């Protein structure tokens, strides 16, 4: 799995117009190495999340920027899709609510939104709402 992740990371960096010639596991992602900018790092993590089904929290970005390619690869390979954090951030919640409202033609009120502070809470509220209107 680690080699697959490493190949994907390097391919993604190349796709994002970074010079990948000479990259090895000791090359840092941040200023001392590839100098991956914060938006590019966010793009890379989204690509990795989509490809491997893992999640990174918003507050991990600084930590990720300090990693080497090898450390980042190992971190991704060590995570499993089951290791999604229980907390849901506001952007994820807004996206999820929008998707459900569009797909099922429902509207969530403020009380329902206030109840959604974790992934489990969101699933419960959305299930209740869709079931009532379904």
- 39-85 per-position pLDDT tens digit: 899 899 989 988 888 888 878 888 998 999 999 999 999 987 655 55
* pLDDT score of 39: 85
Contact 75, 67 (CB under 8 A): yes
Q: How confident is the model at residue 119 (pLDDT cuts 50, 70, 90)?
A: confident
Complete domains list, the chain, with CATH: 2-78 (1.10.1200.10), 90-133 (no CATH)
At 86-116, the pLDDT tens digits run 667 778 788 888 888 888 899 999 999 888 8
Return the SS3 of 105. Answer: coil
Whether 134 has a pLDDT exceeding 80, the answer reads no
* pLDDT score of 83: 54
For residue 42, give the nearest of 24, 21, 64 by alpha carbon. Answer: 64
């Amino acid at each position: 799995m680690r080699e697959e992740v490493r190949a994907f990371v390097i391919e993604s960096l190349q796709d994002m117009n970074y010079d990948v010639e000479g990259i090895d596991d000791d090359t840092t992602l941040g200023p001392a190495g590839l100098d991956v900018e914060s938006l590019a790092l966010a793009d890379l993590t989204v690509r990795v999340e989509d490809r491997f089904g893992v999640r990174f929290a918003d507050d991990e970005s600084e930590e990720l920027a300090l990693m080497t390619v090898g450390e980042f690869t190992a971190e991704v390979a060590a995570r499993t899709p089951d290791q999604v954090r229980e907390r849901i951030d506001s952007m994820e919640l807004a996206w999820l609510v929008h998707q459900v409202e569009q797909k099922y033609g429902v509207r969530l009120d403020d009380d329902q939104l206030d109840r959604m502070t974790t992934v489990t809470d969101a699933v419960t509220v959305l299930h209740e709402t869709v079931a009532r209107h379904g």
